[in-house]
């Protein structure tokens, strides 16, 4: 892709076709580059900011589980925010400055609260969690090769997915340029 911003937008759009609905909420950390929140807004969903952990600098799973247990309830298999009445459909953890988030904790929350996880690994090329590269723990992850990142091609990004249907969908969006900035 042209960059991780485009990659995130394509991913959000892919989710949008199959999954994310306008007005849904997506959990993201406030400590990130603006592209993370923009991708959520881009597909008509609402960023819902949740606290970071002071050592991983990523979403704090202990605080998040505690927060979701009081703030949400499961209604027909969906995680609903009791204050807004909206469905919280996904979360986008960011591996800040290359530090992997607590993936084990977040994956278990995603399972319990029926959230899709998209990893923003724009800053974490070369970072591993449990001997596995960051960005590959969920169905969708993204990398950035922008000039200010760990490994750069000047500009560019990549989408990581193990799902063939998703790969085909994002690839057609990319080639036909509907999301080029
Ligand atoms: C840099 C960055 C992006 C956007 O990457 P670009 O390739 O510059 O579009 C997205 N998310 C995070 C966390 C970033 O640091």
- pLDDT tens digits along 32-52: 999 999 989 988 899 999 999
Distance from residue 50's CA to the centre of ligand 1 (Å)? 19
Distance from residue 101's CA to the centre of ligand 1 (Å)? 16
28 within ligand 1 shell (Cβ under 6 A) = no
Q: Which residues contact 141 (CB under 8 A, 6 or more apart)?
A: 118, 119, 120, 121, 134, 135, 159, 160, 161
The overall average pLDDT reported for the chain is: 89
36 within ligand 1 shell (Cβ under 6 A) = yes
Helix (H) or strand (E) holding 167: helix 164-175
pLDDT tens-place string over residues 101-131: 999 999 999 999 999 999 999 999 999 999 9
146 within ligand 1 shell (Cβ under 6 A) = yes
| Collapsed DSSP state (helix, strand, coil) of residue 146 | strand
**Separation between Cα atoms, residue 14 and residue 30, nearest integer Å:** 23
Q: Model confidence at 180, in pLDDT bands (50, 70, 90)?
A: very low
124 within ligand 1 shell (Cβ under 6 A) = no
Distance from residue 62's CA to the centre of ligand 1 (Å)? 26
Tokens of 100: 């992997």
With beta carbons less than 8 A apart as the criterion, state whether 106 and 141 touch.
Answer: no
């Amino acid at each position: 892709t042209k960059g991780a911003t485009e990659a995130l937008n394509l991913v959000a759009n892919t989710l949008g076709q199959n999954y994310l609905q306008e007005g849904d909420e997506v959990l993201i950390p406030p400590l990130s580059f603006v592209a993370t929140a923009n991708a959520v807004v881009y597909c008509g969903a609402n960023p819902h900011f949740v606290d970071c952990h002071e050592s991983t600098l990523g979403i704090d799973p202990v605080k998040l589980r505690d927060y979701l247990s009081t703030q949400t309830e499961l209604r027909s298999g969906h995680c609903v925010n009791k204050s807004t009445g909206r469905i919280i459909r996904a979360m986008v953890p960011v591996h800040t400055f290359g530090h992997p988030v607590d993936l084990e904790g977040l994956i278990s929350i995603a399972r319990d609260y029926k959230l899709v996880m998209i990893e923003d690994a724009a800053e974490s090329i070369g970072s591993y969690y449990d001997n596995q590269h960051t960005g590959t723990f969920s169905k969708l992850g993204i990398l950035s090769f922008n000039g200010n990142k760990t490994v750069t091609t000047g500009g560019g990004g990549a989408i990581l997915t193990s799902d063939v249907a998703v790969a085909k969908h994002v690839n057609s969006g990319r080639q036909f340029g509907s999301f080029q900035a």
